[in-house]
Structure 1
Amino acid sequence: MRVLLLAPLLASLALSAMAANDTADDAPVYGPRLEGFDYPWALHRFELNSQQQSLEMMYMDVAPQGDANGETVVLMHGKNFCGATWEATIKALTQQGYRVIAPDQIGFCKSSKPQHYQYSFQQLASNTHALLEHLGIENATVLGHSMGGMLATRYALMYPDATQRLVLVNPIGLEDWKAKGVPWQSIDDWYESEKQASADKMREYQQSTYYAGHWKGEYDRWVEMQAGMYRGEGRDINAWSQALTYDMILTQPVVYEFKDLEIPTLLIVGDQDNTAVGKGLAPEEVQKTLGHYAELGPEIAERIPESTYVHFEDLGHSPQVQAPERFHESLLEWLGQNH
């Protein structure tokens, strides 16, 4: 394992004023499938039959700018994210000649949100593999952030011959929360909790977890992307989809299988991340033991046979959004060294 330490920022970012609350007249309202929110590139539709249902998986397929290098990168978003959140990363990759595929997984954002669906990382990986086969892509670098890191890991384990390289960005699932003492919660209870979602709650959480206590006005776009789906007719179906996927995350750990990865893997971690799904359900003494990414990162990197570990001491859960230039410099350097 190679370890790279990136220097922290010399100065903290000043906190900007918080955006208007969720009841403001100009607060955006988006449809059940994020209708009304514009993606940075054209969306394409992949129709698939899954679990006796006709579903639509929406995705961006962005061509390289200038000379193509013949390689494809597939981006897997996190639970509170969408394909659009990868905007800066797509620009950085395509400028270096990569073709980029950025899907919204079934149950998220612009894709179908079936009311009855057996969510599993295996199922989402299979859906993504079917999309790539449809596009004629036999081999790709798979890059996953947050929940997408769990999915990308499962994809690489299921399809090692189709995975050129694996990149994990602050992946959740570096620990088994249930085994550490997070109690199980019913999907019905997750659903009731999710129906209480608001922009103010999301902004507060994202500031403390995604951005290590800092805030920029540009982050509000990603808060509103998520919150806008809860302001209109899509609130209930989005809350239900989120509840179903919470159960998937908590009951399908990948932490025990990192040792089985067979491909070059880059693990990028913002040390200030404190994400731990279900932490608020656990007793206080258990909560204190969860979400220590500065410790989890190097521990997991040691388990991955062919890994490179990059960490940012001052960044949070979303380094690609919080400090895109630093993040992309590290990503592109590693990709260039590991053809």
Structure 2
Amino acid sequence: MPATRWLPSLLLIAALPVLAHAEGPAYGPELQGFDYPYTVKHFAFESQGKSLQMGYMDVAANGKANGRSVVLMHGKNFCGATWDSSIKALSDAGYRVIAPDQIGFCTSSKPDHYQYTFQQLATNTQQLLKALGIQKATLLGHSTGGMLATRYALQYPEQVEQLALVNPIGLEDWKALGVPYRTVDQWYERELKVSADGIREYERSTYYAGRWKPEYDRWVDMLAGLSKGPGKTQVAWNSALIYDMIFTQPVYYEFKDLKVPTLLLIGTSDTTAIGKDIAPPALKTQIGKYDVLGKQVAKLIPHSTLIEFPGLGHAPQMEEPAKFHQALLGWLNKDNPVR
């Protein structure tokens, strides 16, 4: 990669203020300047010969604690902050809530060289939970976080009480179906061109079935501001590596091996599929059909429950939070393992 790509990072040790920009705010490489709904702490650890830090929120139960913890795993185009309404709902219901930003995302480190695997991200998260004294937890994973939560449950089954997946990607193996491969360099060039307008239009058409709510603009600004800030090249490069991980490391074939009670929460109007934009026309119409995928994968997972949200898209917890959290909490309480 060009040597000049890393020059801006030399000035980014301290927290950065929001930078003025004609098309909205720009944020630091670890999302400095963007307001999170709860205090962000940082977990420092060593990984692959590097000193890294994971940003995370640790929110105590509000009211009577039930002694249980829920770990929230965000998606590719999301951050821990986008779980704001879910954190409140779970905390109000008595849960301790941990919402980390994975390495390469949001408030966490974006290393110049890192071997991204779901196993590595699961290991990082497990180290965080160990440091926080959490021996067993329920996992709630959204989008790419659903792939990570699945990998975590496969890797550490004895440490997972329950697994809940919100419109997880990876319910199909795109490369096996014939979606063309993008190289990391191709992903990098694509990510360098990210804009607020492009993010908004992609999410409107893919995530929300053509609909849009004004409150979504905050999350568009979050992503766009991170991508056009002084850490732009770091952000784009890590994003490219992460897309390669998502495309090349399917969890689809291992759903049958899950041993924990699993809930699928599926907005049926979602059409998300990695690489869909470059898929052959005939294939493009066949992938990312969550109204079909949810039912198919529910049959693969041994101890599964499927709850569908007809007409909702990729993020039902953000589209209809009251309806979503009623369904989630009902299942968490009903399927509470014997402690």
Alignment match of 1:131 (pick from 128, 138, 150): 128
Q: Which residue of 1 aligns with 2:3?
A: none
Partner of 1:71: 68
Corresponding position of 1:151:
148
- 1:167 alignment partner AA: A
Q: Does 1:231 align with 2:228?
A: yes
State the match for 2:269 in structure 1. Answer: 272
2:286 aligned residue: 289
Name the counterpart of 2:107. Answer: 110
Aligned runs of 1:193-204 on 2, under 5 Å?
Answer: 193-204=190-201
**1:240-260 deviation per Cα after TM superposition (whole angstroms, max 9, x unaligned):** 111000100010000000000
Are 2:329 and 1:326 aligned?
Answer: no
Is there any run of 5+ residues in structure 2 with no aligned partner, and where?
1-19
What are the Cα deviations for residues 126-180 of structure 1, in whole angstroms up to 9, with x where unaligned? 0000000001100000010000000000000000000000000000000000000
- Determine the structure 2 residue equivalent to 1:313: 310
Task: Out of 109-118 and 24-33, give the one that drifted further.
Answer: 24-33
- C-alpha distance in structure 2 between counterparts of 1:180 and 1:165, whole Å: 30
2:89 corresponds to which letter in structure 1?
A: A
Q: CA deviation at 1:214?
A: 1.2
Mean alpha-carbon deviation: is it higher for 212-221 or for 144-153?
212-221
Q: Within the alignment, does 1:120 sit opposite 2:111 as a pair?
A: no
**CA displacement at 1:232 relative to structure 2:** 2.0
1:29 aligns with 2:26: yes
The farther-off stretch of 151-160 and 231-240 is: 231-240
Deviations 1:16-40 (A, max 9, x none): xxxxxxx973611111111100101
The CA distance in 1 between the partners of 2:29 and 2:125, in whole Å, is: 22
The match for 1:251 is: 248
For 1:129, what is the secondary structure of its paired residue? helix
Partner of 2:6: none
The runs of at least 4 consecutive aligned structure 1 residues that moved more than 3 Å come to none
Other structure's SS at 1:247 match: helix
* 1:155 aligned counterpart, secondary structure: helix
Q: Flag the structure with more relative contact order, 1 or 2, with Cα contacts below 8 A and sequence separation at least 6.
A: 1
1: CA distance between counterparts of 2:76 and 2:220? 13
TM-score (norm 2): 0.92
Please name the residue that 2:9 is paired with: none
Q: Counterpart amino acid of 1:279? A: K
Q: Does 1:52 align with 2:81?
A: no
What SS does the corresponding residue of 1:91 show, helix, strand or coil? helix
* 1:178 and 2:190 matched: no
Determine the structure 2 residue equivalent to 1:18: none
Count of aligned residue pairs for this structure pair: 317
What is the identity, as a one-letter code, of the residue corresponding to 2:155? Answer: M
Aligned-partner Cα distance in 2 for 1:41–1:177: 36
Please tell me the residue identity of whatever aligns with 1:266: L
3-state SS of 1:174 partner? coil
For 1:159 and 1:304, locate their aligned partners in 2 and report how far apart those are by CA, in whole Å.
17
Tell me by how many angstroms 1:209 deviates. 2.0
For residue 242 of structure 1, what is the aligned residue in structure 2? 239
What letter matches 2:175 in structure 1?
Answer: K
Q: For the residues of structure 2 that align with 1:24 and 1:220, how far apart are their CA atoms?
A: 16
Matched, 1:215 2:247: no
One-letter amino acid of the counterpart of residue 40, structure 2? L
Find the aligned partners of 1:292 and 1:161 in 2 and give their Cα distance. Answer: 32
> Which letter maps to 1:142?
L
1:256-295, Cα deviation, whole Å (9 max, x unpaired)? 0000000100001000000000111221111111101100
Aligned Cα root-mean-square deviation (Å): 1.0
Aligned-partner Cα distance in 2 for 1:226–1:288: 28
| Range with bigger deviation, 285-294 or 59-68 | 285-294
Output the amino acid matched with 2:278.
Answer: L
In the alignment, residue 226 of structure 1 is paired with which amino acid?
Answer: L
Helix, strand or coil at the partner of 1:101 = strand
Letter in 1 for 2:170: G
Distance 1:52 1:105 in 2: 17
For 1:5, the equivalent position in structure 2 comes to none
Secondary structure class of the residue paired with 2:244: helix
Unpaired runs of at least 5, structure 1: 1-22
Secondary structure in structure 1 of the residue aligned to 2:291: helix
| Structure 2 equivalent of residue 15 of structure 1 | none
The residue identity in structure 1 corresponding to 2:66 is: N
